[in-house]
Amino acid sequence: MKLKSQPPKEATVTYREAPCSGNEINGLGEKEFRRAKYIYHSNGKSGPLPFDKMQHVFRYSVPAKMLPRIVRGAWATFRPHGTISDHRFEVSDAKKMTQQIKAKALDLGAGVVGICEVKDEYLVEGAVNKYRYAIALGLPMDREKMLTVPGHTAAMEVQRVYTQGSYLTVDLTRYIRSLGWPTKALPINSSSEYLHIPIAIAAGIGELGKHGSLICKEYGSNFRLTTVLTDLPLVPDKPVDIGVEDICATCQACTRACPPDAIFSEKQWVRGTKKWYVDFDKCVPYFSSTYGCGICLEVCPWSEPGRGPKLSEKLLNLREKKSG
């Protein structure tokens, strides 16, 4: 798969002198566990962040035609809570309720759905969790539009999916509240104190790829995540193994395609876990100057429509043969 030519890294806006190292804030090289800190996407609670100026570059460079979508999506962010019905539906069969919630989420527009129990490590430092379960929701993006990354067309498509995701979370929480259970939407237009990627991994949506984003069998990396929290009794899913580790060990598609060379070829220690990691200080100036970049997501072989299930089967069979 070939993308159109991309702006060279020299053509992008960057700091004369960076305020600090984003990699340091993220805990690159740290072998002890600690929770993540807010770093880039600010919200009402995060206060001023070290990379706010870079985020302003991103915000103010978006095309004017995107504004109505941003406003619609932002409107959803003001509706994460609501009135809970007085008539609680007592759940005698959590498995059946899980099926019901997943079917509702798919009906409301989700492409993939998974459930996990919330752990403190899925929240940024200092944030307090009040819910037992997280419902991770993945929404596919239009592949043809995303093949134009980086640019206005792809950025518009990302914003369309963000807005759709925000409405999806609000509608799903409304449904859960109608059953008499507490819930909260985490619309994706703003930074949240909950980390969508670790939640989605625990909920069995997919695996982390070398490009630092999630890969799922259905859409590769050509999708966006959002989350709903709840105390409604549900049955959690388990993390999946679709073979991402096997291919990322040798594939270089994203590392070669990334203009600022931000993707590490080896796993790194980050806050106590050895994992794939993207160099924040190299990626973010390019990302902010190119309407959200996204090149690494689209060159990934898993993102080719229909390829994921076959690729996963092939990789897992190969692994079995090697071990047997």
Q: State the residues that interact with ligand SF4 by CB under 6 A.
A: 209-211, 247-248, 251, 253-254, 258, 260, 262-263, 278, 283, 286-287, 293-296, 299-302
Q: How far is the CB of 54 from ligand SF4 (least distance, A)?
A: 13
Residue (154 or 258) nearer to ligand SF4, CB = 258
Residue (80 or 243) nearer to ligand SF4, CB = 243
Q: Cα separation of 41 and 304, whole Å?
A: 29
Residue (193 or 279) nearer to ligand SF4, CB = 279
Q: Which of 309, 125, 303, 307 is nearest to 214 (CA)?
A: 303
Tokens 């070939």 locate to: 2
Residue (36 or 300) nearer to ligand SF4, CB = 300
Q: How far is the CB of 221 from ligand SF4 (least distance, A)?
A: 7
Q: How far is the CB of 265 from ligand SF4 (least distance, A)?
A: 9
Residue (40 or 287) nearer to ligand SF4, CB = 287
Q: How far is the CB of 197 from ligand SF4 (least distance, A)?
A: 13
Residue (203 or 262) nearer to ligand SF4, CB = 262
Residue (183 or 221) nearer to ligand SF4, CB = 221
Evaluate whether 178 touches 89 at the Cβ level (below 8 Å).
Answer: no
What sign for the dihedral angle of Cα 176, 178, 183, 189? Answer: positive
Q: Cα separation of 199 and 235, whole Å?
A: 15
Q: How far is the CB of 244 from ligand SF4 (least distance, A)?
A: 7
Q: How far is the CB of 286 from ligand SF4 (least distance, A)?
A: 4
Q: How far is the CB of 61 from ligand SF4 (least distance, A)?
A: 15
Q: Cα separation of 148 and 143, whole Å?
A: 9
Tokens of 237: 């899913």
